Structure 1
Amino acid sequence: MGDPDTGSPSLGRAAASGAGITLVSQGLRFVLQIIALVVLSRLLTPSDFGLVAMVTAILGVAEIIRDFGLSSAAIQAKELSDGERTNLFWANLGIGTACAAVAAACSPLIAAIYSRPELTGVTLALSWLFVVSGANTQFRAELSRSLRFRALAVTDVGAQALGIGAGILSAVLGFGFWSIVIQQIVFVVATCAINVVSCRWRPGWPHRGISLRRFFKFGAGLLGMQVMGYATNNVDTVALGSVWGAGPVGLYSRGYQLLMVPLSQVSNALLRVVLPVLSRVQDDDETYLRYVRRAQLLCCYGFGLSFAVAAGLSGPLVAVLFGAAWSGVAPIFALLAIGGIFRGLAQTTYWITLSKGLTGSQLRFYLLARPFMIISILAGLPWGAVGVAAGHSFAFMVEWAASLWWMGRSAGIDYRPLLRRALRSVLLVCVPAGLIALAGSMLPVPAVLRLVLGALAAAGYVVGLAVVSSTERADLRLMADFVQRATGRGRP
């Protein structure tokens, strides 16, 4: 009997097992990154973080170009020959090498933009990593396509631990902002090395007679989406650095990283499991929609509820993690976390776009939506990091609603049930839980106790809602079933 969500017993078991392994590994990475946030924030200054963030905000676009959407194209393809894999490897390596050369050549320009000469050395130290990442791209894609989630988990956790260890050791030894650079170098090199060792496939010499046209067609649309998305996500850092300097950028980058650590870890984990499965059942409309609805449920409770509560608890959360010297991060993070609710919900439309191969349509949407979002973010610049954070969250709230409508139009899916379900979760579950957490966090007790009491109060509200609402009870049962299946305790 086939799996009700995937249509295939083996695929259902692979998805459940992969979800469990991936979520555990991403949970470990989350813990490691929180440790790095806490420890490095106590060893380095806001200016140290701000200096490196100003460079990576610009160089990050080259990392997107280096991939060119070819990793997702390889995963999404129903069939992939060895010759195509080989040519994709050489394509990514060539693009990565070109990105490294351009980044190195632009190092004086980057230093001039911010009027900080030391950024020339930082840019040169990071630029050669594009070659390493280019070599790694198809090894990682092959592991993902083969559903080798355990190998990917080893890479993620191992490379993360090595990078963080190197960064903390460097900070203890007094390397200052170079500690963050060293952390990134060790992480990228270790990721590539472990993936190469884990992957059974090896590339040969390029094949002239094998075309990559279909992959570049898919990748070009995805590349455009990612570049537009990256510009939206990083224009805040570049603008703050140019106008307000390294200190405010350091505070903003801590708040932004506190948002993105759980968001990126969980979304990447789910993408790695969801994309191969959705791609394989994309022609079975009934099964596909059933899986999409459950995926959105995960986003509503996993992202929406978590970020709403985190926004309410921003004060004691920042105090416990970073200390009193970083109190300026709290209002920035609270505003960013509100936007994180909608960034999390938007993951569902992103999964549909990739699995249906609709990157061209989504790029057209980005060309309309992202300029509006950039303007919204920059509108807050006169009010510093807090104003930029407010503009950031407003932009992503509007973009989520518009993207859901656009996705439904492009994919031929009725978006209205998805919109209604998401709004119900936001208004009935997320917003009240966040406000209750905020009330609990304002009690006149130490920060740790305020954090615990606020979280317990929010949890109590959710449990109470489930008691009186049959819809919420049904949703929680689906969540529990997913967790059981992901950890191997439920039915295959």
Structure 2
Amino acid sequence: MTPLVQKATSATKWSALDVFMRQGVQFVVTVILARILVPEDFGIIAVLTLFIGVATVFADCGLGSALVQRQNTTHTDESTVFFFNIGMGAVCGALLCMAAPWIASFFDQPLLQYLSYAMALNLFVGTFGSIHTTLLNKEMNFQTTTKVGGVSSVLAGAVAIYMASQGYGVWSLVGHTVVSGIVTVVLLWVVHPWRPGLSFSSASLRSLFRFGGYEMVSTLLDVFVTNLYAILIGKMYSVRDVGLFARARNTQLVPVTMMLSIVQRVAYSTFSSVSDDKARLVRGLRQAQAVAMFVNLPIMVGVIVLAEPLVLILFGEQWLPCVPMLQVLGLGGVLWPLSILNLNVLRAQGHSGLRLRIEVIKKVVAISLTVAASYYGIMAIAWAQVVISVCTYYANTHYTKVLLAYSGCCQLRDLSMNFVAVVPMATAVYLMADVMHTMPVIEILVAGTLGFGIYLLTCRFLCAELLNQSLVLTGVRTNPVQT
């Protein structure tokens, strides 16, 4: 095993622990809150997410990604970004406060005005820890982020659950976000030795912005398209429908996001370190995809087939209307990890201009499809996301083909046995769920365990090499893998 693979494997383990602690705790908290609160509460927050996301992107301006991508940075570079982020955070927070009355009026939800004020404050506070987080990711020091994330998630979750149980409603969700942000910033300053210097370089800022500017626009487009559904549903239908759709979407995203957060953080740093060696970059992409799809495929099948008992167990009967949405969105999540990993390859090579070109094209397509679908109902919006996911995959793999001679079709061909291996699992889970008429938890345990066992057995015979790569990179096995 090469030093790079050893570092990536170690980073993957700590990244996994960080993600499972942070997002795992957050998911448990969400499950508890979903049984106390109503869909309308989650819908109001989902509507606000777009505005918070846009403000956050402008506060960062893509400079964090630029620091990670640049292999040699100075303390002046880091201090410049730190002070710039704080200044932009203050400006964006103030603009969000100014827009708060309009947001509340547009959706006819007066409470949105005061929620916007609270989230604007949280945005400003978060900028004080942005450089620390960037440096930890660049160093692949996920052991520290694991500790910080675990503590902040537990404390924020406890506060949110207490507030919800005391009848604070939607404010408990805001409390969770604010407490998590404050605790995270404080702990980052305690555990990481970096401190800003009294220096600010306009030349450094311009240099970093050449890459970060493209990143900012790309991320801005992504945030807008990702949260467009909340604006359309909230305006054309109701905040309750927004809450139901958001619950389906977030439930589908939880396992994928957890898995991809592990792989992506390590992959981007690893890809950046070998960005000048195309052969190693292709091998690294193949191995990252092997890990991602080995995990993602059975999870998405489970979400699609077992959606109803899953929703009943986690959230209760009041959330059952989101089941059909969850099943359709699960189908759209199959190719998502591959899309993101291909985008990371482009970012790691410093081709932010090409990435922006891709983002503009696919976001125009996504916006058009989502807006058109909104006139035909909420389920039409869900199906539009499936079409968008396919278009996004082929758009993201275009320049991988041009720059590395590794096309989207070739990537799917390399993973074809994984797709074949999931068919027996899907069949077994569907038949088992269809014949079982028992408690939802038993249904999921029996059908899920049987299906995953069949999937592992099938992978063992059809795609043993990919299975072995997945186990090596996650540290389960120690067989050498080249990178």
- TM norm structure 1: 0.92
1:185 aligns to what?
A: 178
2:105 aligns to what?
A: 112
1:420 aligns to what?
A: 413
1:169 aligns to what?
A: 162
| Superimposed CA distance per residue, residues 10-49 of structure 1 (whole angstroms, 9 cap, x where no aligned partner) | x433222111111122122333122112100111001111
Instruction: Quote the Cα distance in structure 1 between the aligned partners of 2:207 and 2:198.
Output: 20
2:384 pairs with 1:391: yes
Q: What displacement does 1:206 show?
A: 2.8
Instruction: Quote the Cα distance in structure 2 between the aligned partners of 1:95 and 1:53.
Output: 24
1:65 aligns to what?
A: 58
Specify whether residues 467 and 291 from structure 1 end up closer, same or farther in structure 2 by C-alpha distance, changes over 3 A only.
closer
1:214 aligns to what?
A: 207
Q: What displacement does 1:226 show?
A: 0.9
2:243 pairs with 1:243: no
Instruction: Look up the equivalent residue of 2:55 and give its one-letter code.
Output: A
Match of 1:439 among 424, 431, 444: 431
Q: Which runs of 5+ in 1 are unaligned?
A: none
Match of 2:472 among 463, 481, 491: 481
Aligned 8 A contact 1:304 1:340 in 2: no
- TM norm structure 2: 0.94
Aligned 8 A contact 1:22 1:149 in 2: yes
Q: Specify the SS of the correspondent of 1:147.
A: coil
Instruction: Quote the Cα distance in structure 1 between the aligned partners of 2:358 and 2:352.
Output: 10
Which residues in structure 2 correspond to 1:293-312 (within 5 Å)? 293-312=286-305
Q: Specify the SS of the correspondent of 1:419.
A: helix
Instruction: Quote the Cα distance in structure 2 between the aligned partners of 1:103 and 1:435.
Output: 49
Specify whether residues 482 and 404 from structure 1 end up closer, same or farther in structure 2 by C-alpha distance, changes over 3 A only.
same
Instruction: Quote the Cα distance in structure 2 between the aligned partners of 1:53 and 1:448.
Output: 29
1:429 aligns to what?
A: 421
Q: Specify the SS of the correspondent of 2:200.
A: coil
What's the RMSD between the two structures over aligned residues? 2.0
2:55 pairs with 1:79: no
2:331 pairs with 1:331: no
Which residues in structure 2 correspond to 1:3-14 (within 5 Å)? 3-4=1-2, 9=3, 11-14=4-7
Aligned 8 A contact 2:259 2:292 in 1: no
Match of 2:8 among 15, 25, 30: 15
Instruction: Look up the equivalent residue of 1:480 and give its one-letter code.
Output: L
1:459 aligns to what?
A: 452
2:31 aligns to what?
A: 38
Instruction: Quote the Cα distance in structure 2 between the aligned partners of 1:209 and 1:60.
Output: 26
Instruction: Quote the Cα distance in structure 2 between the aligned partners of 1:15 and 1:418.
Output: 22
Which residues in structure 2 correspond to 1:149-160 (within 5 Å)? 149-160=142-153
Q: Which runs of 5+ in 2 are unaligned?
A: none
Specify whether residues 329 and 431 from structure 1 end up closer, same or farther in structure 2 by C-alpha distance, changes over 3 A only.
farther
Instruction: Quote the Cα distance in structure 2 between the aligned partners of 1:56 and 1:335.
Output: 22
Aligned 8 A contact 2:46 2:242 in 1: yes
Instruction: Quote the Cα distance in structure 2 between the aligned partners of 1:38 and 1:448.
Output: 15
Specify whether residues 327 and 466 from structure 1 end up closer, same or farther in structure 2 by C-alpha distance, changes over 3 A only.
same
Match of 2:268 among 275, 298, 308: 275
Specify whether residues 13 and 115 from structure 1 end up closer, same or farther in structure 2 by C-alpha distance, changes over 3 A only.
same
Number of aligned positions between the proteins? 480
* Farther off after superposition, 172-181 or 51-60: 51-60
Q: Specify the SS of the correspondent of 2:438.
A: coil
1:137 aligns to what?
A: 130
Q: What displacement does 1:330 show?
A: 1.2
Q: What displacement does 1:109 show?
A: 0.8
* Farther off after superposition, 392-401 or 35-44: 392-401
Q: Percent identity at matched positions?
A: 22
Q: What displacement does 1:73 show?
A: 0.9
2:121 pairs with 1:128: yes
Q: What displacement does 1:414 show?
A: 4.7
